[in-house]
Amino acid sequence: MRAVVVEEYGGPDVVRLRERPEPEPGPGEVSIEVRYAAMNFTDVRNRIGDGLGRVPFVPGVEVSGRVRKVGAGVDGFGVGQTVAALTRGRAHAEVATAPAALTVPIPEDLAARPESGAMFVTVPVALMLLRDVSRAAPGETVLVHSAAGGVGTVAVQIAAVDGLDPLLGTAGGAAKAEFAKRHGYAEVYEYETFGDAVLERTAGRGVDVVLDPIGGAVRATSFEVLAPLGRLVTYSNISRAKERAPDAGWLRERCVAYAGLSIGQLSGRSPERVRPVLEQAARLVGDGSVDVGVTAVLPLEEAASAHRLYEERAASGKIVFSVGNGAGSR
């Protein structure tokens, strides 16, 4: 089978298309004939050696397609069934394995859409950030960094579903700001100036929730614009700046909270907490309540280009690889 392989850590040029043996599902797993598989920033982090990937490895963490084989101890899945899965790696290939606990049956019509392979990272993360971690409530002011990114594109739609006030966002450049506004953001600010702009908009009070995947200087400013009883949630560190956080005394003095979320870590530690959110994500995308914002559908041969776009932070929405027709390569 064909697969994208990272054989050494480095830049986008280390991403290559190779022939690999087809993986067999282990106990508690299924193998999937991949139709669509999405690109995520976690693939960049793994490629440069800043994640969980250990060379050589096949990147990719979310797919859709058809069940090819069922591993020992797995019930409820049949060969040929259309599914989507959070794979925890190995997704950018013609056949991928996934834990059955993180694999969800989906209708044929949804499986035929590129977004079916791009809905099990951004949608569950946005759902958990807003509902489970920050517990954002109607009437509160929410600021989302990287508003034009995958999670940012979905978060503003989840907020609308939940009856939250229109979100504030940040983005790099006018094109990304316009992309975010089209998806429902009330205002979108530049990273360099958002602090003063947010305080001006809120009459100096600050915001109740900040969702931050960037880190570095953006996160430092974000702490300063939290309102009393505000919550800052980190779910990535795109800047790769050294992680810093206020000490407990500062948090108590300002009466604010600092929390974190990694769906990759949570899916390994507590898959039973993640699966219901995956099922909910499939329903929201399937019925049209959420548009994951697919902006490009590429063949696997262009995987290196996708890595370059993500690393340069030039991508908006989601990039999806079209791998096959779901029938696999036999």
In terms of residue numbers, what domain contains 250?
A: 122-264
pLDDT higher than 50, residue 327 = no
Does one domain contain both 37 and 127? no
CB 33, CB 94: distance < 8 Å = yes
Nearest-10 crossing angle of helices 174-182, 150-161: 30
Same domain for 10 and 106, yes or no, is yes
The answer as to whether 190 is a domain residue is yes
Structural domain total, the chain: 2
Asked if residue 314 is part of any domain, the answer here is: yes
Q: Does residue 100 share a domain with residue 165? A: no
- Verify that 236 and 145 share a domain, yes or no: yes
Predicted confidence (pLDDT) per residue in 93-135, tens digit: 999 999 999 999 999 999 999 999 999 999 999 999 999 999 9
Cβ atoms of 233 and 214 within 8 Å: the answer is no
pLDDT reported for residue 325: 61
Q: Is residue 13 scored above 80 in pLDDT? A: yes
pTM of the predicted model over 0.95:
no
Cis peptide before 299 (omega within 30 of 0): no
**CATH number reported for the structural domain that contains residue 72 in this entry:** 3.90.180.10
**Residue 89 counted as domain residue:** yes
* 104 and 145 housed in the same domain: no
Number of other residues whose CB lies within 10 A of the CB of residue 274: 22
Does 186 lie in the same domain as 96? no
Domain-located, residue 137? yes
DSSP 202-237: TTT--EEEEEES--HHHHHHHHHTEEEEEEEEE---
Residues 254 and 228 in one domain: yes
Is 273 within the bounds of a domain? no
My answer on whether 13 and 144 are in the same domain is: no
What's the rounded mean pLDDT across residues 176-198?
Answer: 96
- Alpha helices (runs of H) in 29-132, residue ranges in sequence order: 41-47, 108-111, 122-127
**For residue 121, what pLDDT is reported?**
96
Domain co-membership, 107 together with 129: no
Do 84 and 99 share a structural domain?
Answer: yes
Measured CA to CA, the distance from residue 222 to residue 235 in angstroms comes to 14
Question: Per residue in 217-276, pLDDT tens?
Answer: 999 999 999 999 999 999 999 998 999 899 999 999 999 999 999 999 999 999 999 999
Q: Which helix (H) or strand (E) holds 142?
A: strand 142-144
